């Protein structure tokens, strides 16, 4: 569920390591800043004076309770807590730090997957609950493969694993949308590499 954070952490660390090693070798050129052209803004036109229309009398609308079910409130709260916890994980700055960060991410991911799967099961939608558990099994296997690749120093495998994780994350996102769990979803920008 929180693998998109892991994907971004791993790719950022990988990119950072490449950049730092290239910078140390002096292979990156420094770009000269070009002054930005400022666009000409059109002049504002004065609006004609308009008199407000008198308000129409309407019948008072009856208040309808749109209370969310308890399991959904708990699911959204769990997802918000998981996202907060994922931001506190240290972003690796070197290749050697990637496995340690992944171990922390995997532990958080498993715990959040277990908690959210239990809450989704209370929704009464057995099909979506089963889909979510299946997707969780896939993402946990991919996260383990990512950790193994990092431990073995096979950093060239990380981008392909990251793409696979994003595919699973998008599928999980669709399930959460169908469940109505807005706090558990990620924006399309978060799910791009």
Q: How far apart are the first and last CA of the chain?
A: 16
Q: Which two tokens stand for residue 95?
A: 């290749």
Per-residue burial over 103-137, b if 16 or more Cβ lie within 10 Å, else e, is ebbbebbbebbebbbebbbebeeeebbebbeebbe
Per-chain mean pLDDT for the chain: 81
Residue 112 has pLDDT above 80, yes or no: yes
- Any idea which of 12-16, 55-59, 120-124, 167-171 has the lowest mean pLDDT? 12-16
**What pTM, to 2 d.p., does this model score?**
0.70
- What pLDDT, on a 0 to 100 scale, did the predictor assign at position 34? 52
* Helix-then-strand count for the chain, H and E: 5, 0
- What pLDDT, on a 0 to 100 scale, did the predictor assign at position 191? 83
Q: What is the pLDDT of residues 170-188, one digit of tens each?
A: 999 999 999 999 999 988 8
Length of the chain, in residues: 193
The gap from C-alpha 39 to its chain's centroid, in whole angstroms, comes to 35
Q: What is the pLDDT of residues 147-177, one digit of tens each?
A: 999 999 999 999 999 999 999 999 999 999 9
Cα Rg, the chain, nearest whole Å:
24
Residue 2 has pLDDT above 90, yes or no: no
3-state secondary structure 119-160: HHHCCCCHHHHHHHHHHHHHHHHHHHHHHHHHHCCCHHHHHH
Task: Find where tokens 């420094």 sit.
Answer: 30
- Reported as a pLDDT band with limits 50, 70 and 90, residue 28 is very low
Q: Which two tokens stand for residue 188?
A: 């399309």
Q: Are 183 and 76 in contact (CB under 8 A)?
A: yes
Tell me the C-alpha distance between 175 and 172, whole Å: 5
Tell me the C-alpha distance between 12 and 73, whole Å: 33
Tell me the C-alpha distance between 171 and 23, whole Å: 38
């Amino acid at each position: 569920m929180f693998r998109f954070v892991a994907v971004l952490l791993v790719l950022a660390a990988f990119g950072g390591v490449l950049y730092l090693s290239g910078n140390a070798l002096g292979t990156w050129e420094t770009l000269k800043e070009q002054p930005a052209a400022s666009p000409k803004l059109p002049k504002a036109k004065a609006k004609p004076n308009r008199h407000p229309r008198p308000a129409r009398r309407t019948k008072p609308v009856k208040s309808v309770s749109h209370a969310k079910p308890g399991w959904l409130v708990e699911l959204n709260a769990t997802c918000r807590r998981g996202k907060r916890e994922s931001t506190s994980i240290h972003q690796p700055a070197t290749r050697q730090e990637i496995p340690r960060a992944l171990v922390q991410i995997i532990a958080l991911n498993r715990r959040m997957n277990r908690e959210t799967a239990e809450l989704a099961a209370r929704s009464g939608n057995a099909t979506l609950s089963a889909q979510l558990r299946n997707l969780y099994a896939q993402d946990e296997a991919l996260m383990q493969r990512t950790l193994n690749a990092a431990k073995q120093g096979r950093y060239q495998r990380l981008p392909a694993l990251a793409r696979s994780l994003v595919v699973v994350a998008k599928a999980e996102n669709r399930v959460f949308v169908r469940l109505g769990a807005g706090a558990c979803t990620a924006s399309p920008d978060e799910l791009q590499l």
